[in-house]
Structure 1
Amino acid sequence: MKKNIAIIMGGYSSEHNISIKSGNVVYKYLDKTKYNAYRIIITKDSWFYLDGADKEHPMEKSDFSIKDDGKKVHFDCVFNAIHGTPGEDGLMQAYFELLGIPQTSCNHYEAALTFNKRDLLSTLKPYGVPCATSYFLNKGQTIDEDAIVDKVGLPCFVKANRAGSSYGVSKVHNIEDLGNAIENAFKEDTQIIIESFLDGTEVSVGVITFNNKVTVLPATEIISENDFFDFEAKYMGKSQEITPARISKIQESNVTQLAEFIYKTLGLKGYTRSEFIFIGDEPHLLEINTTPGLTEESLLPQQAKTAGISLEELFDSAIVEALR
Structure 2
Amino acid sequence: MKKNIAIIMGGYSSEREISIKSGNVVYQYLDKTKYNAYRIIISTEKWIYLDDDNEEFPIDKADFSAVLPDGKISFDCVFNAIHGTPGEDGLLQAYFELLNIPQTSCNHYQAALTFNKRDLLSTLKPYGVQCATSFHLNLGETIDEAAILDKVGLPCFVKANRAGSSYGISKVHKREDLSDAIANAFSEDSEVIIESFLDGTEVSVGVITYNNEITVLPITEIVTENDFFDYEAKYLGKSQEITPARISKIQEENVTKWAKYIYKTLGLKGYTRSEFIFIGNDPHLLEVNTTPGLTEESILPQQANAAGISLEQLFGSAVEEALR
Q: TM-score range by the shorter chain?
A: over 0.9
How far apart, CA to CA, are the structure 1 residues paired with 2:314 and 2:54?
A: 25
Residue 122 (structure 2) aligns with? 122
1:149-168 pair list within 5 angstroms: 149-168=149-168
Matched, 1:190 2:190: yes
Q: CA RMSD in A?
A: 0.4
Matched, 1:242 2:242: yes
Identity of aligned residues (%): 79
Matched, 1:273 2:273: yes
Residue 99 (structure 2) aligns with? 99
Residue 259 (structure 2) aligns with? 259
Residue 200 (structure 1) aligns with? 200
SS across alignment from 1:25: helix
Q: Which amino acid aligns with 2:234?
A: K
How far apart, CA to CA, are the structure 1 residues paired with 2:68 and 2:32?
A: 17
How far apart, CA to CA, are the structure 2 residues paired with 1:301 and 1:284?
A: 23
Once the two structures are TM-superposed, the CA of residue 111 in structure 1 deviates from its matched residue by 0.1
Deviation string 1:90-136 (CA, Å, 9 cap, x unpaired) is 00000000000000000000000000000000000000100000000
Q: Which amino acid aligns with 2:102?
A: P
Once the two structures are TM-superposed, the CA of residue 52 in structure 1 deviates from its matched residue by 1.1
Once the two structures are TM-superposed, the CA of residue 86 in structure 1 deviates from its matched residue by 0.1
1:39-50 pair list within 5 angstroms: 39-50=39-50
Residue 60 (structure 1) aligns with? 60
Once the two structures are TM-superposed, the CA of residue 239 in structure 1 deviates from its matched residue by 0.3
Q: Which amino acid aligns with 1:80?
A: N
Number of equivalent positions? 324
Residue 136 (structure 2) aligns with? 136
Q: TM-score, normalization: structure 2?
A: 1.00
Q: Which amino acid aligns with 1:232?
A: E
Unmatched tracts of structure 1, length 5 or more:
none
Matched, 1:314 2:314: yes
Residue 224 (structure 1) aligns with? 224
Once the two structures are TM-superposed, the CA of residue 54 in structure 1 deviates from its matched residue by 1.1
Of 59-68 and 90-99, deviating more is 59-68
SS across alignment from 1:59: strand
SS across alignment from 2:148: helix
How far apart, CA to CA, are the structure 1 residues paired with 2:199 and 2:166?
A: 18
Matched, 1:108 2:108: yes
Residue 178 (structure 1) aligns with? 178
Q: Which amino acid aligns with 2:122?
A: S
How far apart, CA to CA, are the structure 1 residues paired with 2:129 and 2:69?
A: 52
Once the two structures are TM-superposed, the CA of residue 23 in structure 1 deviates from its matched residue by 0.1
How far apart, CA to CA, are the structure 2 residues paired with 1:230 and 1:32?
A: 36
How far apart, CA to CA, are the structure 2 residues paired with 1:279 and 1:170?
A: 21
How far apart, CA to CA, are the structure 2 residues paired with 1:54 and 1:21?
A: 15
Once the two structures are TM-superposed, the CA of residue 56 in structure 1 deviates from its matched residue by 1.0
Unmatched tracts of structure 2, length 5 or more:
none
How far apart, CA to CA, are the structure 1 residues paired with 2:128 and 2:9?
A: 35
1:73-88 pair list within 5 angstroms: 73-88=73-88
Q: Which amino acid aligns with 1:296?
A: E
Once the two structures are TM-superposed, the CA of residue 269 in structure 1 deviates from its matched residue by 0.2
Residue 297 (structure 1) aligns with? 297
Once the two structures are TM-superposed, the CA of residue 194 in structure 1 deviates from its matched residue by 0.1
SS across alignment from 1:79: strand
Once the two structures are TM-superposed, the CA of residue 69 in structure 1 deviates from its matched residue by 2.3
Once the two structures are TM-superposed, the CA of residue 322 in structure 1 deviates from its matched residue by 0.3
Q: TM-score, normalization: structure 1?
A: 1.00
How far apart, CA to CA, are the structure 2 residues paired with 1:11 and 1:106?
A: 17
Residue 18 (structure 2) aligns with? 18
Deviation string 1:14-42 (CA, Å, 9 cap, x unpaired) is 00000000000000000000000000000
SS across alignment from 2:200: coil
Q: Which amino acid aligns with 1:211?
A: N
SS across alignment from 1:19: helix
Once the two structures are TM-superposed, the CA of residue 184 in structure 1 deviates from its matched residue by 0.2
How far apart, CA to CA, are the structure 1 residues paired with 2:211 and 2:69?
A: 35
Once the two structures are TM-superposed, the CA of residue 68 in structure 1 deviates from its matched residue by 2.3
